[in-house]
Amino acid sequence: MDLSQLRRRAEEAYRDLPMPSDRYTSLSWWREEDYPRDTSSYVQMDLPEGVEVDTAGVVGDIVRPDSWKFIAFHYMNLDSPLLLRVRDGVKVGGVARVRLHVEGREHFHLRLEVGREAHVEVLLEVSGSGLYTEAVEAKVGEGGSLILNVINAMDGEAVAFVERGMVVEGGGGGRLAGVWLGGRFVMAKHRLKPSGAEAHVEDAQVLVGAHSQHLNLHSHLDFTVPHTRGESNLRAVLKDRASATLYGMIDVRPEAKGTDAFLSEHALLLNGGARANAIPALEIMTDDVRATHSASVGPVDEEKLFYLMSRGLKREEAKRLIVLGFLEPALRKLDEGGRSTVVGRIEEILS
């Protein structure tokens, strides 16, 4: 299917699909005309040897244009999808870096193809302002591995609609880590699927919100074959009037015996005006499965604060340590740059 056909299909889907909403999130304010097509966005890339770059020829099979309304909107406006490819057996040293700065309106599409027994680590950094839609489609061959870190640090008035999908074939590994630091409104979905025996996938998302930000994050682990593993870990820290909804889903199909899956969703509220909801779901359609989850929403533990302050720490330093400890299960999935970015943002909102 060429791009023109894909756009037509997306236009039909956009007309037919409902506006996404739930009891915690409303898009009644949405008007496309508020976001003119003019843009001065730009992309910079620093690619180590072994990473090939091209215009993607195949898109839409992992992140489907009829997935949900704003991904249909993304495909309606898609122009030049970017492809990064690592051939079979190539182990890339260093990190492939892609920096995207958004000004106005941007519809960014990234296709990642990692061959059999190949390995690469990719960092995507997004900054700027305006309307941003993003789709990432990642495919990892047998025995291959991909680490994809994405840092969204757009400004406080930006609006973002995002879907990232990853399919990992037998014996392979895929890790998708998303850091959410900016944007007035963000709606994002991560979908990971181990598609062959002994494949494993990991989703880690870290959210640090302040002011009146609203973020609606989804994590979906889809198990369709026997003997695979998956883990999803979502952590949110919220201040002021910021709000977040965390949706997690473990989906184990009838044929996926031997699945080992874990889902974790936790939010920490730094003051009384912040709000969060953690909504885990497990749909298990077979036996011989290990699937567990944990979820919580709450304020900073005053007893922990008291204990640390009794050891000589000032209140703000004690709170900082508690926040970083809370985020640690997700932070450890990030590269050093991602961790330092999150820590810097924590320092900023606690100051």
* Residues 11-25 pLDDT 10s: 999 999 999 989 999
Provide CB contacts within 8 A for 59, sequence distance 6+.
6, 78, 81, 109, 111, 135, 137
Q: What is the mean pLDDT of residues 227-239?
A: 97
**Phi, psi of 347, rounded to the nearest 5 degrees:** -60, -40
| β-pair partners for 298 | 268
In angstroms, the CA 85 to CA 168 distance is: 15
Amino acid at 164: R
Task: Indicate whether 38 pLDDT > 80.
Answer: no
Strand ranges (E), the chain:
42-46, 52-55, 82-86, 91-114, 119-140, 145-152, 159-168, 173-180, 185-194, 200-209, 214-223, 229-238, 243-252, 260-269, 275-284, 290-299
What is the percent of the chain with per-residue pLDDT over 90, rounded to a whole number?
A: 84
Task: Delimit the domains of the chain by residue range.
Answer: 3-302
Pairing of β 52-55 and β 82-86: antiparallel
Confidence of residue 37 (pLDDT cuts 50, 70, 90): confident
Question: How many residues does the structure list for the chain?
Answer: 351
Task: Indicate whether 214 pLDDT > 80.
Answer: yes
What integer best gives the mean pLDDT of the chain? 94
Question: pLDDT of 110-147, one tens digit each?
Answer: 999 999 999 999 999 999 999 999 999 999 999 999 99
The overall longest dimension of the chain from CA atoms, in Å, is 66
On whether the pTM is more than 0.85, the answer is yes
